Amino acid sequence: MDWHETVFELIDMRSFSNLWYWIALAVVWSTSSHWVLGVPYDLVQRARRRGGEPAEDLRDLVRINVNRIRYIVQVAGLWLFALASCALTLLAILGFAYDVEFCQAVFLLAFPLSLVGLLTAMSAHKIASRGLTDAALFRELRIHRLHVQLVGICAITVTAFWGMWQNMHVGALGG
């Protein structure tokens, strides 16, 4: 038996039975819900409670990130949307029509994150166009975070059920 056969026997390289995939999934959604429009959520909470310098820091960070997001959307938004749509379509077809498990796993990570990207662009536009500050800004950031968490909960649930199905299906076929 070769060393690489031993390694592949010890570490299952299929996506949904690989511990690293599930760790990556948890890290992706934890990070996505912590960084709201590029601002750490603990800063949002501190600014809401204390005001003063943390609130100024929050306003500055939100202003910088909102302007950055809006610039990216204006300059490259259509191209990014087209490329992301193409990549997601390719992953979906390879994954679900041709039964490539790696593509399924990447799609189940990337598609919900693309929804988070759209939510982020919409929130940035709303904050800039309405000139939200202080209580209204805190509320918008809280609502955006809640929406990201809801997308994450749905994504984790669908991924977990699909992954269990894949693992049972592969197990039933004998590996």
Question: pLDDT value at position 5?
Answer: 73
Average pLDDT over residues 150-173: 90
Residue 69 phi, psi dihedral angles, 5° rounding: -65, -45
The confidence score (pLDDT) of residue 175 equals 53
Token pair 């390719």: residue:
90
Burial of 60 (0-12, 13-18, 19+ CB in 10 A): exposed
Question: C-alpha 60: how far from its chain's center?
Answer: 24
**142-152 pLDDT, tens digit each:** 999 999 999 99
Q: What number is the average pLDDT over the span 141-169?
A: 96
**What are 40's strand-pairing partners?**
35
Q: How far apart are CA 175 and CA 173, in angstroms?
A: 6
pLDDT band at residue 174 using 50, 70 and 90 as cut-offs: low
Q: How confident is the model at residue 169 (pLDDT cuts 50, 70, 90)?
A: confident
